[in-house]
Structure 1
Amino acid sequence: MSQPDSSRRAKSIGHYILGKTIGEGTFGKVKLGTHILTSERVAVKILEKERIVEVADVERVAREVHILKLIRHPHIVQLYEIIETRRQLYLIMEYASGGELFDYIVAKGRVPEPEACRFFHQIIAGLEKVHAMNIVHRDLKPENLLLDEHNNIKIVDFGLSNVFRQGQLLKTACGSPCYAAPEMIAGHSYVPHLCDMWSCGVILFALVCGYLPFEDQNTSALYKKILAAEYKTPKFISEAAPVTSPHPSISRSR
C-alpha cells in the first residue's frame, strides 16, 4: 500500500530526497540529500524559521547566506541552491563525505607532518580567498573543517563571519575560546584577518601534536595561558614544523 502524498512530500524538497540527519545546528538539522535525477549527494541545511526570532539571529543567518553566495573556491563548501517554505529555509550545499577534520585527528592520534602540511596549505588557500573578499570567518577550528571523498579540506560554517572594510578593526569577540586570538579575548579591537590566522596556527598545532596548545577547564585560566603564550612544543615535532609538553588529547571546543 502506497504512503500518503503528504508523507512523501515530507521526505523531499525541490529535486532532492532527504535522508539521514548528518548534523545538528543552532537553528535546525543538516540532512543528507540525494538528487532525484542525477543521484548526486548534497548536504541540506534546514533552518527552522520559528527558531530565528531575535534580530541578531536574523542578521547572522542573512550574513551567512550572503557570504556563501559570494564565495567560490575548491576548499570552501559550496552553496548550490536555496529553497524557502512557510516554515523552513533549505540550504542545498556541497556534501563532504569525509566528516570533520576533528574526528580525523582523533582517529589518527596526530596527523603525520607531510599530510598536516597538505591540510594546512588547503586551509590557507581557502582562507586567502575569503580574506581577499574582505570577509573574516572568526570560528575556524577542526570541527568547522570538513573532508571530501578525496580527503581535501572544505571550510564550513560562516555563521560568525562578517564583512569588513579595508583597514577596519572589529570588536566583537566570538568563536571558540581555545582558538581565539589574544587581542580578541582581551576585549581589544582586532585586525580581522589576523584573528583567523591565529586560529590557523592553533589548528596546525592540533594537527601535528594531536592536542591543543592552550587548554584549561577554567575559562579564566585558559585566557591567561593564551595571553601569556604559555605552551610547549613536544619533542617529537620536527624542526621544519612551525609550531611549539604533551597534553592529554584534543577535545571538542566549547
Structure 2
Amino acid sequence: MTDKKCVGKKYEYFLKDKLGSGSFAEVVKGKNKQTDEIVAIKVIKRSILAKYGDDIMNQIQLEVKILKELANLSKQTKCPFINRIYEFLETANNFYIVLEFCNQGTLYDMIKKVKKIEEKEAIFILFQLLQALALLANNNIAHRDIKPENVFIKDGVYKLGDFGFASQKSLYQTHLGTFPYMAPEFFNSDSYNTKVDVWALGLLTHEMLFGELYYIGRSQYEVQQKILTKPYILHDQRYKVSDQLKNLLCKMVNKDQNARISAQEALMDPLFDFCRNDQRYLDIMELEQQNLYQINNNEQVEQISLLQDEDKQLEEKKQKEEEEQQKREKEKIIQEKNSFIQSGINSIKEGILDKIQGITLMVQLADYLYNTIQQLCRFEILYILKQATILIQQLKVRLEQKAILGKHDHIKIEFDSEIWMYFYEDKTVFQLIDDIETEKNKMKKKYIDYINQFNNFAYCNFPDSYHKIETIANLNLSKPIDIQLYQDQLFMRMQFLKQDSLKTQNNDIKQQIQKCLLWLYAVYEYQKLCSGQLFDIQRFIQAIINDDLDEMKSCLNLK
C-alpha cells in the first residue's frame, strides 16, 4: 500500500517525508507535479482543529491572508527574504498551505551546529532579514515570533517564515511570542507596534554572534523580569565585534519602543554597504527576478487550465450535490442526536455537582457552628457532619453501581435510561467518582476529628455526659441517621437559638444567631436542599459569603 498522497491536481507528497510537526499541523516535503518543483506542504487536519475552537481556525485564515499579501508585495518590491506561499487548498478532511521549500533547514540548525557565526556573515544574514521586516512594517504586519527556528534557509538565502502568530494592524494588544525574544512592551504596555520584531531580530543576531540567549532564566517570570530591568550592554570582553555592529544592536534592543530603531532605518546604516555590492546578494536578487518571471508565467498557464476545467467542475459539482445533500441530512440527524445526548449528560452532571454543593453546604454549617457556638451545638455538629458523610457515600456507591438517578435526587436530572447509558460511558464520570471519594474522605476525617475533640472536652468538663457523646458519635457511616431523630435535634436547637435571639440586645450577636437559624433551617430540610427543591444552592452560598440575611431569607421564601 503506497503512502503517496495527492493534494488537488498539482501536488503530491509521501507520508514518510515529514519535515516537522506541531499541535495541529505537520509539514511534509512535496512536489509540484506540473513543474517538478519541490515544495513544503503544511497539512492541517480539520478533526484536530475542531478541538481548539474557532480562534485557531481564524488564526490560520489570518496566516494565509498575510502570506498571500506578502507574496504579492514581494513581487512588487522584489523581496526574496520571506518564505513564499504558493497556494491554500481545502478538502473535506484537511487544509493545505503550500510553501516554498527551504533545502538547508533553519537558522536554529545552523547555530546549533556552528555555535557562533562570524561577524561579517551574521551582518549579511541580518541585512536580509531586515529587508523582510521592513516589508512587514511598511504594511503594518507584525510577525511576533522572530526566532532562529522561524528563519529558513534556501540555497544560502535566509527567509522569514512561520507566520502563525502574525497579525496586521497599526497597534496590537494580544501578547504572544517566545519569551527570550519578547520585547518589554509585551509586559509593561497595553499596546505595541511592529518594532517588537526589531527587538527580537536584535536578540537573534546576538545569539548568532555570541552563541547565547541574552535574556534567559529558570522560569518565564524570571525571563520577563530580566527583559524589563536588565540593560542590554556589550562591554564585556566576550562580545568581540565591531563597535559599529554593537551600536546598531543597542539601537535594536532598546527598551523604549519609541526610541528603538525601525527596520527601514537600520537598513540605512553604513554597516550594510558591503552587503549591497556583495556578489551573493546581486545573484540572489537576479535569481528572484527570474523566479518572479517564472511564477507569473505559471499563473497564466494555470488560469487558462482553470477556465478549461470549469465546465467539467460544474458537472462534477452537480453530480455530487445529491450525495452531499444526503450526507448533510444524515450528519444533521447524528448531530441532533449527539446534541440531545450531550445536553442530557450535562444536565446529569450539573445535577450531581449541585447535589454535592448542597451536601458540602451542610459541612460548612458544621464548621460555622464549631467556630461560632460549638459549646451549644456539639451534638448538632456531629449529626450534621455524619449525615453529610453518609449522603456523599450513598451518592458515590450509586454512581459506582451505575444507578439511574431521578428528579427526587436532583431536579436538574432527567430520568432517561438511554442518556444514563451514555453518561456512564463518558470517561469524565470516573473523575467525578474520584472527586466524590476525595470529598467523602475529607468529611469523614473532619467528623472523626470533631468526635475526638468533643470527647476530650466532655471527658474533662462533663464526665457524666461523656457516654452520651460516645453513643451519638459512632463511626458507623453505613447506616443513615434516623430522620426524625436528626430533625428533632436540629429543631430543638433552632428553638433554643430563637429564644436567645429574642433575649440579646447585641445586634451583632442577634445577626449571627439569625444567620445560624436560616442556615440550620436549610440543612434541616437537607433532602429538599440537596435535590435543589428548596432553593438555588449557589445563590444561597453567595448570600452566606456576603453575610446577606435578606438574601438568605429570600432564598427560603421567608422574606
In the alignment, does 2:126 pair up with 1:87? no
Q: Identify which range, 211-220 or 57-66, moves more after superposition.
A: 211-220
In the alignment, does 2:13 pair up with 1:18? yes
Give 2:429's aligned residue.
none
Aligned-partner residue type, residue 70 of structure 1? E
Map Cα deviations across residues 80-128 of structure 1 (whole Å, 9 max, x no partner). Answer: 1122110101111100111110111121111111110011011110111
Bigger fraction of residues in helix: 2
Instruction: For 1:64 and 1:235, locate their aligned partners in 2 and report how far apart those are by CA, in whole Å.
Output: 37
1:145 pairs with one of 138, 141, 151: 151
Aligned-partner residue type, residue 46 of structure 2? K
> Cα offset for 1:23?
1.2
| Runs of 4 or more consecutive aligned structure 1 residues displaced over 6 Å after TM superposition | none
Instruction: For 1:82 and 1:139, locate their aligned partners in 2 and report how far apart those are by CA, in whole Å.
Output: 22
Bigger fraction of residues in strand: 1
TM-score, normalised on structure 2?
0.40
Tell whether the 8 Å contact from 1:100 to 1:145 is kept in structure 2 after alignment. Answer: yes
Tell whether the 8 Å contact from 1:214 to 1:231 is kept in structure 2 after alignment. Answer: no
Map Cα deviations across residues 53-104 of structure 1 (whole Å, 9 max, x no partner). Answer: 3121111111001101100231111111122110101111100111110111
> Cα offset for 1:190?
3.1
1:158 pairs with one of 138, 158, 163: 163
Give 1:225's aligned residue.
226
Map Cα deviations across residues 169-223 of structure 1 (whole Å, 9 max, x no partner). Answer: 322110000000011023x123321111111111111111111111112222111
1:113 pairs with one of 119, 122, 129: 119
TM-score, normalised on structure 1?
0.86
Tell whether the 8 Å contact from 1:209 to 1:237 is kept in structure 2 after alignment. Answer: no
In the alignment, does 2:192 pair up with 1:191? yes
Instruction: For 2:128 and 2:107, locate their aligned partners in 1 and report how far apart those are by CA, in whole Å.
Output: 12
Give 2:132's aligned residue.
126
Instruction: For 2:195 and 2:215, locate their aligned partners in 1 and report how far apart those are by CA, in whole Å.
Output: 18
Secondary structure of residue in 2 paired with 1:191: coil
Could you say which structure has the greater relative contact order, defined with CA pairs below 8 angstroms and 6 or more residues apart? Answer: 1
Instruction: For 1:125 and 1:235, locate their aligned partners in 2 and report how far apart those are by CA, in whole Å.
Output: 25
Secondary structure of residue in 2 paired with 1:11: strand
Give 1:240's aligned residue.
244
Tell whether the 8 Å contact from 2:185 to 2:192 is kept in structure 1 after alignment. Answer: no
**Structure 1: gaps of 5 or more residues:** 245-254
Secondary structure of residue in 2 paired with 1:71: helix
| Identity among equivalent pairs (%) | 28
Give 2:182's aligned residue.
180
Larger radius of gyration: 2
> Cα offset for 1:229?
2.7
Instruction: For 1:37 and 1:164, locate their aligned partners in 2 and report how far apart those are by CA, in whole Å.
Output: 37
Secondary structure of residue in 1 paired with 2:244: coil
Instruction: For 1:26 and 1:212, locate their aligned partners in 2 and report how far apart those are by CA, in whole Å.
Output: 25
> Cα offset for 1:157?
1.1
Tell whether the 8 Å contact from 2:106 to 2:149 is kept in structure 1 after alignment. Answer: yes
Aligned-partner residue type, residue 91 of structure 2? T
> Cα offset for 1:239?
2.0
Write the mapping of 1:5-44 to structure 2, written as runs, cut at 5 A. Answer: 7=2, 10-14=4-8, 15-19=10-14, 20-44=17-41
Secondary structure of residue in 1 paired with 2:245: coil
Aligned-partner residue type, residue 177 of structure 1? F
Give 1:249's aligned residue.
none
Instruction: For 1:193 and 1:29, locate their aligned partners in 2 and report how far apart those are by CA, in whole Å.
Output: 28
Instruction: For 2:232 and 2:135, locate their aligned partners in 1 and report how far apart those are by CA, in whole Å.
Output: 30
Tell whether the 8 Å contact from 1:140 to 1:199 is kept in structure 2 after alignment. Answer: yes
Aligned-partner residue type, residue 159 of structure 1? G
Give 2:45's aligned residue.
48
Instruction: For 1:222 and 1:82, locate their aligned partners in 2 and report how far apart those are by CA, in whole Å.
Output: 37
Instruction: For 1:88 and 1:220, locate their aligned partners in 2 and report how far apart those are by CA, in whole Å.
Output: 37
Aligned residues: 233
Aligned-partner residue type, residue 42 of structure 2? K
Instruction: For 1:60 and 1:98, locate their aligned partners in 2 and report how far apart those are by CA, in whole Å.
Output: 28
Tell whether the 8 Å contact from 2:215 to 2:223 is kept in structure 1 after alignment. Answer: yes
Write the mapping of 1:56-75 to structure 2, written as runs, cut at 5 A. Answer: 56-72=55-71, 73=74, 74-75=80-81
Tell whether the 8 Å contact from 2:210 to 2:239 is kept in structure 1 after alignment. Answer: no
> Cα offset for 1:231?
5.0
Aligned-partner residue type, residue 11 of structure 1? K
